[in-house]
Amino acid sequence: MDLSLRPLDESGFGAVVDANLATDAERLAPQLAAALHQYRLLIVPRQHLTHADLLTVASCFGTVDTSVDRRYAVGGFPGLTVISNIVEDGTHIGVYDGDNEEEWHADNSFKPQLTSATMLYSVIAPEHGGETRFADATRAYADLPAAVRQRIDPMRARHSLEQLGALQSQASGGQSSIAAGSLAAGPEVEHPLVLTHPVTGAQSLLLGSMVISGITTLAKQESRTLLEELLDHATSAPYVHAHRWSQGDLVVWDNLATLHTASPCDSSRHRRLLYRAAVR
């Protein structure tokens, strides 16, 4: 059976998948992986998935990354993490960086090896707020003037976990899952400013509104100006899809070709609970 796909629009970024991944994930794995590389963002609504199902689906896209924050790991299911604004007995049950979190990034860019794909599954969806926004970093790069592409192609940027934690704390009144978590310690790493996808060969902008401390070959102010200009371009309306969550939505994105951010959500009125898995 062929995978049923409906593109989100004519841009080629994102597609809705019609499938029952609880029963068909392994059989559809090659088609799912190919679809992710083509569309960079897959949305699979109306799913009913167990923890084991989620890891099976994640493995369709690569090797599940089990190096996660131990505080929010799902016991017995290595690689599965809780994302939530829910508090129980005075403690957040999942990764939470404040109600007003907005931070464009690619997952784990502060590590030497980036995540290749990330998956989120919604169990409790807020009625208002809490959207996840995705930016097509591939098309954003392709649309840059040729002179800009030529300038930035050889550049490399420093990604700092320490800076990320500090800026998250400033932006959210002292709340930072990164700064307080078991992944908090780590040196800066360097990545290309322009990634070449290992499967598709397409080039994409690798940016981050909080994690990048600078471009290695530029002075601080010149680096900041260029990074802000590129991020403003990549996250402008033509390249962004905002996903409003419903219970049972499963969303997978190509982390080497997209950027994403959470959106504000009032945790005092609207609870959200998702499970996340990432692959290498």
- DSSP code string of 230-271: HHHHHTSGGGEEEEPP-TT-EEEEETTTEEEEE----TTT--
| pLDDT at residue 232, rounded to an integer | 98
Mean pLDDT, the chain cut into blocks of 10 residues (280 residues total): 92 98 98 98 98 98 95 97 96 92 94 96 96 98 98 98 85 56 73 98 97 97 98 98 98 98 96 97
- pLDDT at 184 (0 to 100): 57
The CB density around residue 163, as the number of other CB atoms within 10 Å, is 18
**What is the pLDDT at residue 32?**
98
Q: What is the pLDDT of residue 176?
A: 55
Secondary structure (3-state) at 174:
coil
Rounded to whole angstroms, how far apart are CA atoms 278 and 122?
15
Give the list of residues 6+ apart from residue 228 with CB closer than 8 angstroms, or none.
none
